[in-house]
Every structure is written in C-alpha cells, then in structure tokens.
Amino acid sequence: MAHKPLLATVLGQRQERPPIWIMRQAGRYLPEYREIRANVRNFLELCYTPDLATEVTLQPLRRFDLDAAILFSDILVIPDALGQSVRFAQGEGPVLEPVDPQIITQLRREGALEHLAPVLETVRRLRAALAPEKTLIGFCGSPWTVATYMIGGRGSTDQAAARLFALRHPEAFAALIDILVATSIDYLVAQFEAGADVVQLFESWALNLDDSAFAERVIEPNRRIVEGVRARVPNAPIIGFPRGAAGNLAKYAALTGVNALGLDYATPLDFAAKHLPDTLPVQGNLDPLRLVAGGKQLDERVDQIVSAFANRPHIFNLGHGIVPETPIEHVAALVDRVKNG
C-alpha cells in the first residue's frame, strides 16, 4: 500500500515536512470551477452529480501538488436528505425553511443514505482516480453547526436563533441532535466504505457558546459520532475542526477522541505546545486573507507556522476556507513554500 503522508500524519506519524491541503481548495477561486458552476442550475445539483463533483474535486490537484483531495459537497446535504427544504440563493448563501419543534418530529432518517447515494458515488470515483499517495478526505458538518442552519434558516454571526431554541425547547433540540448524530454516523461510515481514507468533522460555528453549552452541544455530539463511526469502522481516522473553540480546544480534543485537531487562525501558535499532548496531530492555521495578500508576509507567516509545529505531527492548512478572491499564483507559492521552504 502506498505511503500517504497526510493520512500518516493524522495517524500520529510526524513527517519530514508537513503535508498540505486547503479547506475549500475546490471552489470559486478557480476559473475552471466557475465554468462548471455556471452551467448547472444550482449548487446542490453540482453536489449530486458525480461526474461534475468528481471533476471539481480533482481540479486543484491538477494545479497544485497537494497531498489530499477533499470530497466536493456541502455540510447541508444532510438536512436536505432529512427532508428539510434547502436551497442556495445567489449572493446569499444557503437558505433553509427553519424547523420548529413540530417539524423536528417529522424529519426522517429513513432514505437519507439513498438520497446521498450520488455523493457516495463521487467518493468511489475519486478513490479510483486519485494517485495512490494522495489521501482522500470525506466530511460532514457537526450536529451543532448543522442545527444552527436548520433552526435559523441561514448562517448568522451569533447563532442566536439556535442558541435560544436550545434553551427554550431542550427536548426538541435534543431530538434534533440525536437525528443529526445518527445520520452523520451512517453518512461517514458510508464514505469510508466508498473509499475515504479520513474524514473531517466541520464544527464551523463552535464559537459563541459558554463552556456548559459547548460541552453539551459540541463536545458530546462529536464524541458520539467518533464513537459510533469507530464501532463500525475500527480505528477510523477522524479530524475535528471546532472553529472558534478557543479555551475549549484541549477539552474537545481529549473528550471527543479525534485523531487530529484543526486549529483556526485565531489560535496562537504556542497553544499546542502549552495545552495539547505532544503526540496529538494538529492541522492549520494560516489566515486566509494572508493568502490573498501574498508576498513577504505570507512567506514569513508560513515559516512561523511550520516552525511552531515542527516537533509534532502537523498538517499545513488554512485556519478557515480559502476565499474566492485568492490569486491562484499565491496558492502555488504557498504550496511551494510549505514543501520546499
């Protein structure tokens, strides 16, 4: 079996140089992606068309010497599969029909995996197409993050609708989380069975929670997913990315059981050395806007990040997704800097 540097790093093996992939590496900053996107009716059609989703996933690997491909899809395919109305409005992002306690009782897991069959077909095609040394990353949104969209109807800066819902309707909220945990386990197991090497849990809205709410809404559901996946896929490699977790990061890593911890760009570079086990792999954590600006400051920050994590298993990545206005030449320079110094 070919050596996959990124997978090996997730499993705790420090590499001579950090492997690299980029969150949202397949997307709007690439002209070839924009061309495909312009010829489909909507974003979900792109996610559910294996030919196109496979092509989009592979596009950045043709341009850059990245160590992994990440499945092109979206965290909101799960609410879509559960029967909630999900659409992507041009210039607005995702728009969902908000759930209430009554609607939550009408959500059905039956048929969810059948609905997601095109995504799993994309995973199979990617497995067949990728070079043997490239890691294939699957993913899903973590329950709290997905719930914030399902309850609020769209993304928000403070997740107030979901936070209030959890406080006012604790039983309905717990039922929603239970549905999302169980469906996420099924979905991630199916991704592994289709050929994914590792999966990432995107807890994109882990900020704005007090420590008690964080433990209940972030740590515990993610722990249940990790445990549930590994009950069916023993030793399944899992990256957890709780964006904005701040002082809760160490507790998240210890209690969820993830193999590797994604760090957002606000996390100080000395945090891992001070608060995380030396053997815990970390991923991150360049500010995406540094990649937009480029130049000397980019080189200097890349070197600082590589140096800060040099004594532990480290996957180089951004601290959040790449933004559409990122110059392609800056991405090429980043990859070269990480790989060649």
Catalytic residues: 24, 28, 37, 74, 149
Backbone φ and ψ of 190, nearest 5°? -65, -35
Pair 332, 300: CB distance under 8 Å: no
Q: Which parts of the chain are beta strand (E)?
A: 68-70, 86-89, 93-96, 135-141, 198-203, 238-242, 260-262, 282-286, 314-318
Token digits for 203?
């807890």
Rounded CA-CA distance 65/75 in Å is: 26
3-state DSSP call for residue 67? Answer: coil
Pair 251, 290: CB distance under 8 Å: no
Pair 60, 30: CB distance under 8 Å: yes
| Rg, the chain, Cα only | 19
C-alpha torsion 287→71→32→80, nearest 10: -100
- Name the residue among 173, 159, 266 with its Cα closest to residue 221: 173
